[in-house]
Amino acid sequence: MNESLISQRTLGVTFTNDSAVVRVWAPLAEAVSLRICHQDLVIPLQNDGAYWQTTTSQLKPGDTYTFILNNTTERPDPASLSQPESVHGPSQAVDTAQFVWTDSTWNNLPLESYLLYELHTGTFTPEGTFAGIEAKLDYFVELGINAIEIMPVAQFPGTRNWGYDGVCPYAVQNSYGGAAGLQRLVDACHRKGLAVVLDVVYNHMGPEGNYFADYGPYFTNKHRTPWGDALNFDDNYSDSVRRYFLENVLMWFRDFHIDALRLDAVHAIHDESELHILREIKQYVDQFMQETGRQYYLIIESDQNETRFIQPIASDGYGMDAQWNDEFHHALRVTAGGERSGYYADYDGIRHLAKSYRDAYVYDGTYMPRRAKIVGKPTGSHPGQQFVVFSQNHDQIGNRMLGERPSQLVSFSMQKLMAGAVMSSPYLPMLFMGEEWGELNPFLYFVSHSDPELIEAVRQGRKKEFAAFQTSVEAPDPQAAQTFERSRLRWERLTQEPHQTLFRYYQTLLSLRKKSPLRHPNRESVAVVMDDARQTLTLIRHHPNDAPIVC
């Protein structure tokens, strides 16, 4: 372990006293210079092995800058904290220490008490900014959740994107409010007793503004992902790529006071090293927690159903605190009716839902037809707080051609039943923004690229993806501003029926969850009685100190 990474960032620009320390990894470059834009000042960097660096008093917080590689190629900083002109423009030096935190009394919540609410900054409010979210903190408290999970905020091209096309993992999206805006939001959340989970993408980079290859072997063709060559976690040069992401993890906790990271699709992180990158991340976070005395969580998205990810470090696992459990969702949605195609084909409804209540994974060492192999491991004694469950999320809605939420697909009663099913589970429940009032607007797939070829490729890709549906309806254009606007929440519905009633129902459920035995995501406390003939499922939850609850 490189202890020096714990206390501060070492990549990009950091400020100490009146100087900026500048460091960039460019192992194959012959020369690297820093260019400070407004002065048009070019400062050559010194080569210290694979890294290039300098200390200068010329670069001040707020200044824009670039790196010039081999005296010819001018590029933004791969560890830029701010991209005021988006992904192609210069980087901007940020001193994260300038923010005055007021959350010193905040302590992260115990993971088992997390009640999650996933949101997309751009479409959550009319403003589409962190400030917009900040104005809704009282609303969260009123609803009864205690942790917001923010979809990725790494700088992406334009102003409309789910966030998974980000190309600057250290830079907070400028149109959302940038680094300072995120710090302000987290600080405000903490004052309201709300934890903040940030979704981060360590399995690929977006296609536009992706200048990494100019700097070094960030990618390897040893492994492939749905987005192309894999990020290089195990090939030649990989130590520096690993460090790049390790520092990123620590930055969110240390400099932004984020309480937990949600690591996107870790099954697309390819690493055959003896020390898996997730395990190494956990080792660094453990060290950071030890030094700060604070608590931070790592939550993964994984489709592997393999317990090694959530097994503690001490038991040779990767030590992740929790994982999303998509299978609970799939079984629930099939049970709720209407879903049988695509990935739903492997789930047969009530029987699998009962299985997921009992065993978390549906496939836990059993043959999965769509993958044509045995999938998963039994979850054994892993506690319920290691599994996040939901009846909907950005993917499950947005990956439908028309982005329909359950509110447009199932009856009002079924929406309530699904909410109850999630909330009464011995797992961590998560809502998707707007579900609590049955928002009717879709959540569509949208982008705002600037490269015409890429725009066309995304359009065609989307059309092709849904060609099999053979419907007369056209897939909405991902690049159209309207597609984004149609995906925005309509808060006025909160004052209308039946939305108001549903909202109160969610309030009641969340309140019940917090006051009853349900608050303990305790798998041993669950008895599941399935009546296949009547297609009913009875869930009995109890806890030593409380009366049992029958759902």
Instruction: Give least dist CB 308 to a second copy, A.
Output: 5
Instruction: Give least dist CB 307 to a second copy, A.
Output: 8
Residue 301 annotated in active site: yes
Helices (H), 96-177: 121-124, 130-134, 137-143
DSSP 495: G
Starting at the edge strand that comes first in sequence, how are the strands of the sheet with 546-550 ordered? 526-531, 536-543, 546-550
| Choices 200-208, 219-227, 291-299, 492-500; region in contact with a second copy by CB under 8 A | 219-227
Give the span between the Cα atoms of 105 and 339, in whole angstroms: 46
**CA distances for 303 relative to 174, 264, 300, 325, angstroms:** 32, 11, 10, 8
Nearer to a second copy, 274 or 492 (CB): 274
Nearer to a second copy, 129 or 323 (CB): 323
Assess 223 for contact with a second copy (CB under 8 A). yes
- The first and second tokens of residue 61, run together, are 């917080």
**CA distances for 243 relative to 4, 9, 204, 232, 237, angstroms:** 11, 10, 16, 11, 11
User: Which of 40, 274, 492, 497 touches a second copy (CB under 8 A)?
Assistant: 274
User: Which of 17, 30, 72, 372 touches a second copy (CB under 8 A)?
Assistant: 372
Question: Half-sphere exposure of residue 273, counting CA atoms within 13 Å on the CB side?
Answer: 19
- The first and second tokens of residue 425, run together, are 């589970």
Residue 64 CB partners (closer than 8 Å, separation 6+): 36, 37, 38, 84, 89, 90, 91, 92, 93
Assess 370 for contact with a second copy (CB under 8 A). yes
Give the span between the Cα atoms of 53 and 25, in whole angstroms: 9
Give the span between the Cα atoms of 199 and 292, in whole angstroms: 22
Instruction: Give least dist CB 239 to a second copy, A.
Output: 4
Helices (H), 363-497: 394-398, 412-423, 452-465, 481-486
Q: Which residues pair with 263 in a beta bridge?
A: 200, 300
User: Which of 120, 262, 270, 394 touches a second copy (CB under 8 A)?
Assistant: 270
Assess 345 for contact with a second copy (CB under 8 A). no
Q: Answer yes or no: are the C-beta atoms of 208 and 201 closer than 8 Å.
A: no
User: Which of 35, 308, 416, 490 touches a second copy (CB under 8 A)?
Assistant: 308
User: Which of 80, 86, 238, 479 touches a second copy (CB under 8 A)?
Assistant: 238
Q: If DSSP codes are grouped into helix, strand and coil, which group holds residue 458?
A: helix
Token pair 């933004």 is found at 76
| Choices 118-126, 345-353, 372-380, 383-391; region in contact with a second copy by CB under 8 A | 372-380
How many C-beta neighbours within 10 Å does residue 159 have?
A: 15
Nearer to a second copy, 78 or 438 (CB): 78
Nearer to a second copy, 50 or 454 (CB): 50
User: Which of 103, 142, 239, 465 touches a second copy (CB under 8 A)?
Assistant: 239
User: Which of 60, 377, 486, 543 touches a second copy (CB under 8 A)?
Assistant: 377
User: Which of 213, 345, 374, 481 touches a second copy (CB under 8 A)?
Assistant: 374
Nearer to a second copy, 4 or 472 (CB): 4
User: Which of 107, 221, 450, 536 touches a second copy (CB under 8 A)?
Assistant: 221
Burial environment of residue 467 by CB neighbours within 10 A (0 to 12, 13 to 18, 19 or more): exposed
- The first and second tokens of residue 63, run together, are 């200044």
**ω before 498 within 30° of 0 (cis)?**
yes
| Choices 101-109, 122-130, 198-206, 364-372; region in contact with a second copy by CB under 8 A | 364-372
**Catalytic residue of the set 264, 346, 364, 436:** 264
Nearer to a second copy, 275 or 550 (CB): 275
User: Which of 21, 31, 41, 50 touches a second copy (CB under 8 A)?
Assistant: 50
Residue 264 annotated in active site: yes
Nearer to a second copy, 365 or 548 (CB): 365
**Catalytic residue of the set 77, 199, 259, 301:** 301
Output phi, psi for 492, to 5 deg.
-65, -20
Assess 283 for contact with a second copy (CB under 8 A). no
Q: How many residues bind a second copy (CB under 8 A)?
A: 26
Instruction: Give least dist CB 229 to a second copy, A.
Output: 9
Nearer to a second copy, 136 or 223 (CB): 223
Give the span between the Cα atoms of 136 and 119, in whole angstroms: 12
User: Which of 85, 103, 142, 316 touches a second copy (CB under 8 A)?
Assistant: 316
Assess 213 for contact with a second copy (CB under 8 A). no
- The first and second tokens of residue 87, run together, are 């992904």
Residue at 501: amino acid letter: T
User: Which of 85, 103, 142, 272 touches a second copy (CB under 8 A)?
Assistant: 272
Assess 359 for contact with a second copy (CB under 8 A). no
Q: Answer yes or no: are the C-beta atoms of 419 and 486 closer than 8 Å.
A: no
Nearer to a second copy, 38 or 371 (CB): 371
**Which residues belong to the active site?**
264, 301
Where on the chain is the footprint of a second copy (CB under 8 A)?
Answer: 27, 50, 221-224, 236-240, 270-272, 274, 304, 306-308, 316, 370-374, 377
